[in-house]
């Protein structure tokens, strides 16, 4: 009889199941170990996100694809049944074949899409409170004894010829669920088909299942009880539950070689597996130490925040003084800008006045001087004529004066004179008397001097014009400089106003800074505490790994060190089923693939 026919070996096999699933979950928590455990890279890696309602029913499915491009090809052609393709990379679609051709530029391709296809594993969640089944919508906030049962139904299978009969062999999916159970809600927690890890503020339940494995191996439950569900029980208060993540993968048995399981090569495989577990345990120890160091660093951060807070206590007073200074600066710059604008307007007025003098007054002055020269010329001509008849003119003037004087002296009753007539006659006598005193030579000298002065003044008009031209140019330069100054001061005024406004905001936010520092200190303290708890949890994980190594792998080495008997054909079929399930949404025939499912069951919230 095969050693697997007895209950004792399958007791060890159940321990192996617990270990294998814990190893799978832990490996995904340590990237370097997960990468080391993976097979060679594939052409198409698919991660399917299944979004479930709280009872496990499917609400939405999104698949994310990565197409490797190790050869750095310029284009890659893929086949998929996904809809609503979304990608940052360029592609074209063939509507007849569903093929997508991607322009890669030598890089890998990443895209995602949606599908209505049902996932290969169905999840059914049943909640029982105090012996009565309760719907998730009625459970939030309730208290009592709660049972949460997660059943997994495997719908992916194919027929295999075993012992001459066509047998249904299910794809060997492994489902691992992570459930966080806060101590404030859950007490007296137990789990069926899983493992509990207790932390400072919450427990972590790792539930696992291998749905369809019992049927594929055709084992009686008397010989082995391979779980297709897990159950969590607890006393709950004001029930609520965070989202539950479930990882489903066929990778555990992929690439399984059972052709020589009864040879010494199995020992080498088991040795390698034992080494991997030892490395995982060592890695967990390293993580625990690193978390302790990080927590120590967080303690130092809290202390540093205290010191920083003391040094920034003067911020409100300093920002107040800065705000006052910035306000004064804004007012001063605004006044200077207004003055510069006035200077621009003043210099423009000066330039306009100079231009008016040059274009209007100077031409008039030149014209007046031309008229004066003509008048002086006529005066010189008249004086010359007067000089020529000076003797005759003098005699005539004297005779006229005598006649006018006689007219005044000989006034009679027959020829009376009124006051106006007498005044006019006397004025004429005075004028003629003055003419008698005029020296023609002196008058000629005066006229000549006047003509010389007029000529000199006329010549000076050109100098005045040149001087005014230079003054106008200088005024233009001043106006341009004043304009630049005005623009600069205008911008400075706006900047000063913005500065003043910003500093006012800083001044107003100074109290918030102090509050923020208090919040930062509180958050850092909480983070330090959480890191301590995480370090404690990591230490517990290390203990669990060590226990699973001794109770799982070491026992497995003993169990498998013999003949598998008539189970080998079924194990072969399981290995083939794992190898063949390498895509969910489809792939090109010439591609290798891998697929992982991530189920996300909705939270139940108050």
pLDDT in tens, 584-606: 999 998 899 999 999 999 999 98
By three-state DSSP, how is residue 73 classified? Answer: coil
Lookup: tokens for 169: 């062999």
In this prediction, residue 432 has a pLDDT band, given cuts at 50, 70 and 90, of confident
Name which residue leads in pLDDT, 580 or 426. Answer: 580
Determine the Cα–Cα distance for residues 341 and 339; give it in Å rounded to an integer.
5
pLDDT on residue 337 = 72
Give the angle subtended at the CA of 498 by the CAs of 493 and 502, to the nearest 5°: 150
In this predicted structure, the answer to whether residue 75 has a pLDDT above a threshold of 90 is yes
Find out whether 21 and 174 touch, Cβ atoms under 8 Å.
Answer: yes
Return the HEC string of 210-275.
Answer: CCCHHHHHCCCCCCCCCCCEEEEEEEECCCCECCEEEEEECHHHCCCCCCCCCCCHHHHHHHHHHH
How big is the chain by its Cα radius of gyration, in Å?
Answer: 56
In this prediction, residue 9 has a pLDDT band, given cuts at 50, 70 and 90, of very low
Determine the Cα–Cα distance for residues 423 and 427; give it in Å rounded to an integer.
6
- Average pLDDT (10-26) is 41
Lowest mean per-residue pLDDT among 125-129, 360-364, 419-423, 430-434: 360-364
Lookup: tokens for 151: 């059943």
Name which residue leads in pLDDT, 97 or 389. Answer: 97
pLDDT in tens, 483-505: 777 777 677 667 667 766 766 66
Lowest mean per-residue pLDDT among 19-23, 241-245, 554-558: 19-23
Determine the Cα–Cα distance for residues 571 and 76; give it in Å rounded to an integer.
36
The model's pTM: 0.52
In this prediction, residue 401 has a pLDDT band, given cuts at 50, 70 and 90, of confident
Instruction: Classify each residue of 451-462 as buried b or exposed e, where b means 16 or more C-beta atoms within 10 Å of its C-beta.
Output: beebeeebeebe
Q: At what angle do helices 265-311 and 7-29 cross, to 10 degrees?
A: 40
């Amino acid at each position: 009889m095969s050693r697997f026919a007895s209950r004792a070996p399958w007791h060890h096999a159940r321990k192996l199941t617990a270990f294998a699933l814990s190893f799978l979950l832990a490996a995904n928590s340590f990237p370097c170990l997960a990468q080391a455990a993976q097979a060679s890279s594939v052409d198409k890696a698919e991660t399917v996100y299944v979004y479930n309602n709280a009872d496990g029913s499917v609400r939405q499915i999104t698949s994310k694809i990565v197409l490797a491009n190790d050869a750095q090809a310029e284009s890659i052609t893929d086949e998929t049944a996904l809809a609503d393709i979304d990608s940052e990379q360029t592609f074209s679609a063939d509507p007849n074949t569903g093929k997508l051709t991607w322009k890669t530029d030598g890089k890998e391709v990443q895209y995602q899409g949606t599908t209505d296809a049902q996932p290969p594993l169905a999840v059914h969640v049943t909640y029982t409170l105090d012996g009565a089944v309760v719907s998730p919508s009625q459970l939030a906030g309730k208290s009592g004894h709660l049972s949460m049962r997660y059943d997994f139904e495997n719908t992916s299978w194919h027929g295999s010829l075993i012992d001459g009969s066509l047998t249904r062999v299910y794809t060997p999916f492994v489902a691992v669920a992570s459930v966080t159970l806060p101590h404030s809600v859950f007490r007296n927690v137990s789990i069926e088909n899983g493992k509990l890890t207790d932390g400072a503020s919450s427990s972590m339940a790792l539930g696992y299942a291998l749905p369809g494995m019992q049927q594929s191996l055709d084992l009686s439950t008397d010989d082995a009880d391979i779980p297709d569900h897990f159950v969590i029980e607890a006393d709950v208060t004001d029930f609520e539950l965070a989202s539950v993540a479930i990882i489903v993968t066929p990778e555990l048995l992929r690439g399984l070689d059972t052709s020589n399981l009864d040879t010494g090569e199995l020992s080498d495989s088991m040795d390698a597996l034992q080494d991997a577990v030892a490395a995982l345990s060592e890695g967990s120890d390293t993580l625990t130490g690193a978390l302790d160091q990080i927590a120590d660093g967080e303690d130092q951060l809290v202390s540093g925040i205290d010191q920083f807070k003391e040094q920034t206590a003067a911020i409100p007073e300093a920002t107040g003084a800065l705000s006052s200074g910035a306000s004064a600066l804004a007012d001063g710059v605004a006044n200077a800008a207004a003055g510069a604008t006035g200077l621009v307007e003043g210099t423009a007025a000066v330039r306009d006045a100079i231009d008016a003098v040059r274009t209007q007054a100077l031409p008039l002055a030149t014209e007046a001087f031309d008229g004066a020269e003509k008048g002086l010329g006529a005066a010189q001509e008249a004086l010359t004529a007067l000089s020529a008849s000076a003797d005759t003119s003098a005699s005539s003037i004297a005779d006229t004066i005598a006649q006018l004087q006689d007219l005044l002296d000989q006034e009679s009753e027959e020829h009376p004179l009124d006051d106006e007539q007498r005044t006019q006659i006397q004025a004429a006598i005075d004028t003629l008397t003055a003419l008698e005193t005029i020296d023609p030579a002196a008058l000629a000298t005066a006229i000549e001097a006047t003509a010389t002065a007029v000529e000199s003044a006329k010549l000076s008009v050109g100098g005045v014009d040149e001087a005014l031209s230079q003054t106008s140019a200088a005024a233009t330069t001043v106006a341009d400089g004043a304009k630049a100054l005005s623009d600069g001061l205008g911008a400075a005024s706006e900047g000063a106003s913005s500065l003043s406004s910003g500093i006012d905001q800083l001044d107003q936010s100074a109290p918030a800074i102090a509050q923020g520092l208090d919040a930062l200190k509180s958050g850092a303290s909480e983070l330090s505490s959480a890191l301590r708890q995480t370090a404690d949890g990591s230490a517990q994980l290390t203990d669990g790994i060590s226990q699973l190594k001794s109770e799982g792998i070491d026992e497995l080495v003993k169990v498998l060190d013999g003949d598998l008997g008539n189970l080998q054909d079924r194990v072969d079929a399981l290995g083939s089923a794992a190898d063949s399930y390498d895509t969910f949404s489809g792939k090109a025939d010439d591609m290798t693939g891998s697929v992982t499912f991530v189920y996300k069951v909705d939270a139940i919230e108050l």
